[in-house]
Amino acid sequence: MIIAATVPNQPGAPTTTVDSSQNNIIIDWSLPSNTGGVDITGFRIFIETSSSTWSQETINCDGINNSAVISGRTCTIPANVLRASPFSLTTGTSVRAKLVAFNIIGDSAESQIGSGAVMPIPPTVPSAPLNLERNELTTSQTQVVFTW
């Protein structure tokens, strides 16, 4: 008996979350309900840019060559990557993602658009203290105290 393979069904809409460090966006998704009769060979993950176009994330979400992304159906993108070109997302922007599953026959339809995460505030380095003043040394003479 010969079974003809087809492209996979579209995968479920991805979810996007911010990790506990507030430095990364995590994208998770589920397998299509039908793989087309053959194994899924990869995923293409797209992020909506600040100009409302879609750009494929190929470094951290390499669903073609990275077996951990393919089998785990998850990827982690540092927030600073999404702040940079081509995405250019700013603090408070919703991170919207969609994806395509593919097998040896071809690509599925695009998933529904998933969201959930909001771009976190970027980490900052505190500025140097200003107007330092020396307090008088304590009686033990082993401690120096500065106030500003």
Per-residue model confidence as pLDDT tens digits over 25-42: 999 999 999 999 999 999
Fold adopted by 1-121:
Immunoglobulin-like (2.60.40)
CB 47 within 8 Å of CB 90: no
Number of residues that this document lists for the chain: 148
pTM score:
0.78
User: In the chain, what are the domain boundaries?
Assistant: 1-121
CA nearest to 97, candidates 64, 119, 123:
119
Q: Is residue 87 a contact partner of residue 55, using CB atoms and an 8 Å limit?
A: yes
Q: What is the pLDDT of residues 88-126, one digit of tens each?
A: 999 999 999 999 999 999 999 999 999 889 998 887 777
Sheet of strand 24-28: strand arrangement: 15-18, 24-28, 74-78
Tokens 């107007």 identify what position? 131
A 10 A CB-CB count for 23 gives 14
